[in-house]
Amino acid sequence: MAYFTTKDGTELYYKDWGTGQPITFSHGWPLDADAWDAQMMFLAERGYRVIAHDRRGHGRSAQTWNGNEMDTYADDLAELIESLDLRNAVMVGHSTGGGEVVRYIARHGTQRVAKAVLISAVPPVMLKTEANPGGLPIAVFDGIRDGVKNNRSQIFKDLAVPFFGFNRSDAKVSQGTIDWFWFLGMQGSIKGLYDCVKAFSETDFNEDLKKVTVPALVLQGNADQIVPLEDSGALSSKIMPNARLKIYEGAPHGMCTTHADKVNADLLEFIQS
């Protein structure tokens, strides 16, 4: 098991497989690097070096009391990228991880970045405000925080169902996938996961997106019940200067799992283009 220690002494778990052009993966909440196994194995088998870390407060990384916000997440990723001396990297982020990728580029530039991919990602901003009337009300996120604080085991079991679209009439429900989602979530820190709700819901990425000047691909399902397409990917793809949007018909938020073959093929095509 590989660990990297940041400048503030935080130990981050990461996996680093294969050789070739590097591809970094930033996971969603409340998961960890294992959420990318299908993509990492596929791309490593095709001659790429794939790297994914557990964000602080998630998975096998340190359970810090402080730093559970987007600037620190991005800076942690920057330190890892620099320590591994990754260059010409393709950065891929799902959900909260999409925000992490965008904030990394805004804070650290594109010197080490060739391309970016946002999948079901939280930018531009999830929270409903006067400036963002299409967002979700604060009560939604307060409810998630309440669930994390008081019974996170149950909220992870409940959340897995819409996350993977298993409440749709045409869904093939996988109890194993629900159990896996629960297991990854339960490995995280209650404090880190609680704080991260604010990070993914209230961070405004509008200005960050303008700085993503590298070629970018936005992938999202039109059946996403967690991060609604029209207020996220559809907007982000218009703000980034060099982005294109690909919509998956009927795909849920967790489409890297439910539609892994399609996601893998689209990633490979974009990386090779």
- Model pLDDT for residues 176-194, shown as the tens digit of each residue: 999 999 999 999 999 999 9
Where does the pLDDT of residue 88 fall: very low under 50, low under 70, confident under 90, or very high at 90 and above?
very high
By residue range, what is the domain housing residue 247? 2-272
- 253 tagged catalytic: yes
What distance in Å separates the CA atoms of residue 220 and residue 249, rounded to the nearest whole number?
Answer: 9
pLDDT tens profile 213-244:
999 999 999 999 999 999 999 999 999 999 99
pLDDT at 59 over 90: yes
Q: What is the pTM of this model?
A: 0.97
Q: Which of 16, 61, 94, 95 is catalytic?
A: 95
Share of the chain above pLDDT 90, in %: 99
Number of folded domains that form the chain = 1
pLDDT value for 18 = 97
Q: Is 259 part of the annotated catalytic residue set?
A: no
User: How crowded is residue 190: how many other Cβ atoms within 10 Å of its Cβ?
Assistant: 13
pLDDT, tens digit (0-9, with 9 covering 90-100), for 244-255: 999 999 999 999
Are the CB atoms for 12 and 54 separated by under 8 Å?
Answer: yes
Task: Give the pLDDT of residue 222.
Answer: 98
pLDDT at 73: 98
pLDDT exceeds cutoff 90 at 9: yes
Query: Of these residues, 58, 94, 253, 259, which one is catalytic?
Result: 253
Cα separation values, 265 from 35, 75, 161, 199, 218, Å: 17, 30, 25, 30, 14
Q: What is the CATH number of the domain that holds 9?
A: 3.40.50.1820
pLDDT mean over 12-36: 98
Average pLDDT along the chain: 97
| Segment 106-129 mean pLDDT | 98
Is 80 exceeded by the pLDDT of residue 41? Answer: yes
pLDDT at 134 over 80: yes
Mean pLDDT, residues 190-206 taken together: 98
**pLDDT of 1 strictly over 80:** no
Active site residue 224: yes
Q: Please tell me the number of Cα atoms within 13 Å of 77 on its side-chain side.
A: 36
> Do 261 and 267 touch, CB atoms closer than 8 A?
no
Query: From the candidates 27, 224, 232, 259, which is the catalytic residue?
Result: 224
